[in-house]
């Protein structure tokens, strides 16, 4: 379900990086159906080899150690599906994502969902649901957030939310009523705000001015 | 106990069985090899071995680049090997059903230019003078080595290799191959290697060369065959051998255990008190029996000089021209060729949008891991080669 949704977001012929790519299933589809040029990052060695067996190029690395081996802007899209809540430093990883790619696609579970709220309210215990099927002591989920929380963080980081697609009962709903209450997952399409590294006048050399004249300069 | 005949039969039927080293004569004048350091060399004899069969389409050839002191004998046994002889240096990886599956692939391994295991090197006879080249042998580089191996594959009728594989100095050759002959390889596997030797690596090589040159028997390189700087060469090997191991692997293998006594002897003259000493002496002694001192000088210098970045302007320039798929692997306990160095190659390949897979393998065995950890290589290389081969078949299907 999520794979299909992600696939639809990606322009044909793009260069795509998938963080926590598993056995490379999504990337293999992207390559075949979208003609994408792909790269995966995966920490698990068995999954790493499985991706190689699909012919998907894959780097074994720990997302908690960042993306320092990926040069700036080397991808069109970077995908992080169902993993943000499991990393140690989600803020840093999101910043890294918009550094290495023009667009970031992030799928996260929504902790604002009513079932979770109701469980906490009624039972007074850490919630266990279809989306969060773990007990508190064995969950890989370290950082849970609601849609509002995620939006706040994006404002803080200066990352623009191009699209916010709530997923309710396995269906993507473009405009959902009471989304933060109803969505189990959310797909975010993110991009760095237009001018993340403002260039000061003195650094701005003549060559780059020639290449991209400012509005009204002619 | 197995009789000699039983042993021979078992060997014939395991892996690639009995093999023979073959010789090719290339760069026959006036088609000299033009050397990076200036000058020309020819004719050049190349010692090589092949395992498996080349397909009629000639699309299943894999070239193995050996490390500093390796040779063409990568798999199988020679028929006249004695019972104690070991098979080729990567035998566990090569053979029917093995990672480099000889039922499927045609595997080639050749001794390097400047070597002393059958390919023209400083110990060879210079046809112009009928004397050994010795130090009149021209300076050679990793580029020259690859130039000769590339010529060998063309001599065998192969335009494009399915894969070029190597570790350490062999990995440097793999990278050089991708840079120098970008259309000649479909995939490249580079293990425990680097785009340039570290200063630390150069330092260790320098000590090894000094050990050889200061041995009185070195005689400015003019030693007789069979004689030569035995102690200096053994010492060079002992030093180098330490750099191939890790702290942990030495500890595991020997610890502080003593060799012949339960307590210290409190004597200065005997050289072997600890087991690790005995091991290093043994390694040095064995090495002298099979390796030539002048070759060691030439090849370590070639290794020192290797620097893909300065040679091609940048790593992306060097590796940007090939469409080969890359598989890069380092080992966490390797302090001679570190993961950081492998990642430099990785970064450059990502930057130019290449198909590249990378892994830092866990192993206690240090730099030598790529010769030891066969199962890890198998798990990673088998599917990688399979995919490289499949993509080849798909492409030819599309063309027809």
Per DSSP (E only), the strands in chain B are 22-26, 33-34, 40-41, 44-51, 61-65, 94-95, 100-101, 106-110, 125-126, 131-132, 163-167, 187-191, 325-331, 356-361
Per-residue pLDDT band at B62 (split at 50, 70, 90): very high
Is residue B358 within 8 A of residue B328, CB to CB? The reply is: yes
* pLDDT at B398 > cutoff 80: no
- The answer on whether B209 is annotated among ligand-binding residues is no
Q: How far is B368 from chain A (nearest CA, A)?
A: 21
Check CB contact under 8 Å for B360 and A60: yes
Check CB contact under 8 Å for A53 and B325: no
Closest partner CB to B350 (pick from A39, A48, A60): A39
Provide Rg for chain A, Cα atoms.
19
Q: How far apart are CA B382 and CA B167, in angstroms?
A: 16
Q: Which of A124-138, B91-105, B127-141, B156-170 has the lowest mean pLDDT?
A: A124-138
What is residue A44's DSSP assignment? -
Mean pLDDT, chain B, integer: 95
Please report the domains of chain B, with CATH numbers, ordered by start residue. Answer: 4-197+308-399 (3.40.50.1820), 198-305 (1.10.1740.110)
Q: Which residues contact A44 (CB under 8 A, 6 or more apart)?
A: A22
Q: Whole-prediction pTM value?
A: 0.92
Chain B residues with CB-CB distance to A16 below 8 A: none
Chain B residues with CB-CB distance to A69 below 8 A: 343, 346-347, 350, 358
* pLDDT at B1 > cutoff 80: no
Three-class secondary structure of residue A2 per DSSP: helix
Check CB contact under 8 Å for A69 and B357: no
Check CB contact under 8 Å for B383 and A52: yes
Neighbours of A95 (CB within 10 A): 17
Closest partner CB to B350 (pick from A52, A54, A71): A71
Residue B101: active-site member: no
* pLDDT one-digit tens code per residue, B324-364: 999 999 999 999 999 999 999 999 999 999 999 999 999 99
Per-residue pLDDT band at A206 (split at 50, 70, 90): very low
- Return the residue in A18, A47, A59 with the most chain B beta carbons within 10 A, the one to mutate for interface testing: A59
Averaged pLDDT for residues B279-298: 96
**Predicted local confidence at residue B184, as pLDDT:** 98
Residue B13: active-site member: no
What are the distances in angstroms from CA B223 to CA B117, B128, B132, B291?
A: 18, 20, 10, 14
Chain B residues with CB-CB distance to A32 below 8 A: none
Residue in the block written with tokens 């942990």: B248
Neighbours of B349 (CB within 10 A): 27
B residues 369..398 contacting A (CB < 8 A): 379-380, 383-384, 386-387, 390-391
Averaged pLDDT for residues A79-98: 95
Q: How far apart are CA B189 and CA B175, in angstroms?
A: 9
Q: How many CA atoms lie within 13 A of A82 on its CB side?
A: 12
Nearest to B272, CA basis, from B285, B258, B283: B258
Burial of A71: CB neighbours in 10 Å, binned 0-12, 13-18, 19+:
middle
Share of chain B above pLDDT 90, in %: 88
Q: What six digits make up the tokens of A117? A: 């709220």
Closest partner CB to A71 (pick from B347, B358, B391): B347
Q: How far apart are CA A35 and CA A15, in angstroms?
A: 9
- Return the residue in B324, B326, B358, B360 with the most chain A beta carbons within 10 A, the one to mutate for interface testing: B358
Q: How far is A139 from chain B (nearest CA, A)?
A: 27
Q: How far apart are CA A208 and CA A103, in angstroms?
A: 24
Q: Which of A1-10, B128-137, B234-243 has the lowest mean pLDDT?
A: A1-10
- The answer on whether B304 is annotated among ligand-binding residues is no
Chain B residues with CB-CB distance to A53 below 8 A: 383, 386-387
Going by their DSSP bridges, the two strands B131-132 and B125-126 should be labelled as: antiparallel
Per-residue pLDDT band at B35 (split at 50, 70, 90): very high
Three-class secondary structure of residue A163 per DSSP: strand
Closest partner CB to A37 (pick from B353, B357, B379): B353
Q: What six digits make up the tokens of A22? A: 């598993």
- Top-confidence residue, A119 or B174: B174
């Amino acid at each position: 379900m999520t794979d299909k949704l992600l696939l639809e977001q990606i322009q044909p012929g793009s260069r795509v990086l998938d963080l926590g790519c598993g056995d490379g299933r999504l990337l293999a589809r992207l390559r075949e159906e979208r003609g994408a040029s792909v790269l995966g990052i995966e920490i698990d060695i068995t999954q790493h080899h499985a991706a190689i067996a699909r012919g998907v190029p894959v780097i074994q690395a720990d997302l908690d150690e960042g993306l320092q081996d990926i040069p700036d802007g080397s991808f069109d899209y970077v995908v992080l599906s169902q993993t943000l809540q499991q990393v140690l430093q989600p803020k840093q990883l999101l910043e890294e994502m918009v550094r290495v790619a023009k667009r970031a696609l992030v799928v996260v579970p929504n902790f604002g969902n009513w079932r979770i709220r109701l469980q906490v309210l009624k039972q007074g215990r850490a919630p266990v649901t279809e989306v969060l099927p773990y007990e508190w002591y064995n969950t890989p989920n370290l950082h849970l957030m609601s849609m509002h929380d995620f939006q706040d963080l994006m404002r803080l980081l200066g990352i623009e939310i191009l699209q916010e697609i709530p997923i309710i009962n396995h269906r993507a709903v473009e405009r959902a009523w009471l989304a933060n209450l109803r969505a189990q997952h959310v797909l975010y399409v993110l991009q760095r705000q237009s001018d993340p590294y403002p260039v000061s006048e003195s650094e701005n050399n003549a060559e780059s001015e020639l290449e991209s004249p400012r509005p009204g300069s002619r | 106990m197995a009789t000699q005949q039983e042993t021979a039969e078992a060997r014939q039927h395991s892996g690639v069985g009995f093999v023979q080293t073959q010789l090719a004569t290339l760069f026959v004048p006036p088609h000299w090899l033009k050397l990076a350091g200036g000058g020309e060399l020819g004719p050049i004899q190349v010692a090589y071995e092949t395992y498996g069969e080349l397909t009629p389409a000639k699309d299943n050839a894999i070239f193995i680049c050996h490390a500093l002191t390796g040779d063409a004998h990568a798999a199988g046994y020679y028929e006249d090997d004695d019972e104690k002889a070991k098979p080729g240096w990567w035998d566990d990886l090569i053979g029917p059903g093995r990672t480099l599956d000889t039922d499927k692939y045609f595997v080639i391994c050749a001794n390097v230019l400047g070597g002393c295991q059958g390919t023209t090197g400083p110990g060879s006879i210079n046809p112009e003078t009928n004397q050994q080249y010795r130090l009149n042998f021209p300076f050679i580089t990793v580029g020259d080595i690859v130039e000769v191996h590339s010529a060998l594959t063309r001599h065998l009728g192969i335009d494009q290799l399915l894969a070029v594989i190597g570790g350490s100095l062999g990995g440097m050759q793999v990278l050089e191959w991708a840079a120098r002959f970008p259309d000649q390889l479909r995939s490249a596997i580079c293990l425990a290697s680097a785009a340039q030797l570290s200063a630390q690596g150069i330092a260790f090589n320098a000590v090894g060369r000094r050990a050889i040159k200061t041995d009185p028997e070195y005689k400015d390189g003019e030693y007789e065959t069979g004689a030569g700087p035995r102690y200096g060469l053994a010492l060079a090997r002992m030093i180098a051998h330490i750099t191939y191991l890790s702290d942990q692997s030495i500890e595991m293998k020997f610890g502080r255990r003593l060799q012949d006594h339960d307590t210290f002897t409190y004597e200065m003259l005997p050289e072997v008190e600890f087991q690790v000493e005995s091991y290093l002496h043994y390694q040095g002694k064995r090495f002298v029996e099979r390796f030539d001192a002048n070759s060691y000088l030439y090849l370590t210098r070639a290794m020192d000089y290797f620097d893909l970045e300065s040679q091609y302007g940048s790593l992306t320039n060097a590796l940007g021209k090939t469409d080969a798929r890359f598989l890069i692997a380092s080992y966490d306990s390797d302090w001679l060729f570190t993961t950081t160095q492998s990642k430099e190659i990785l970064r450059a390949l990502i930057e130019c949008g290449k198909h590249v897979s990378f892994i830092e393998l866990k192993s206690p065995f240090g730099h030598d891991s790529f010769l030891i950890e066969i199962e890890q290589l198998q798990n990673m290389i088998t599917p990688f080669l399979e995919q490289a081969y499949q993509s080849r078949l798909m492409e030819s299907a599309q063309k027809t």
